[in-house]
Chains A and B, each alone.
Chain A
Amino acid sequence: MMKEFKVSPAASSAVPVTFSDACTGCNICAQVCQCDVLLPDTRKGKHPIVMWPGECWYCGACVMSCPVQAIRLEHPLMNRARFIKAFR
Chain B
Amino acid sequence: MKYEVVIGLEIHAQLSTRTKIFCGCSTAFGAQPNTQVCPVCLGMPGSLPVLNKQVVHYALKMGLATRSKINRRNIFARKNYFYADLPKGYQISQFELPICEHGVLEIPSGEGTKKIGITRIHMEEDAGKSIHDEAFVSKHETLVDLNRCGVPLIEIVSEPDLRSAADAAAYVTKMRQLVRYLGICDGNMEEGSLRCDANVSIRPVGQTTLGTKTELKNMNSIKNVEKAISYEIKRQTEILEDGGNIVQQTLLWDPDKNEARPMRGKEDSHDYRYFPDPDLAEVCIDEPWLQRAQEELPELPDARRLRFERELGLPAYDAELLTSSREVADYFEETLSRTNNAKKTSNWVMGEVLRLSKEKNCSVRELPVTAARLAELMQAVEKGEVSQSAAKTVFEAMDKDDAPVKVLIEKLGLKQLSDVSALEEIIDRIFAENPDKVESYKNGKTKLMGFFMGSVMRISQGKADPQKVSAMLREKLSS
User: Do A and B come together as binding partners?
Assistant: no
- Interface residues of chain B, those whose CB is within 8 Å of chain A, are none
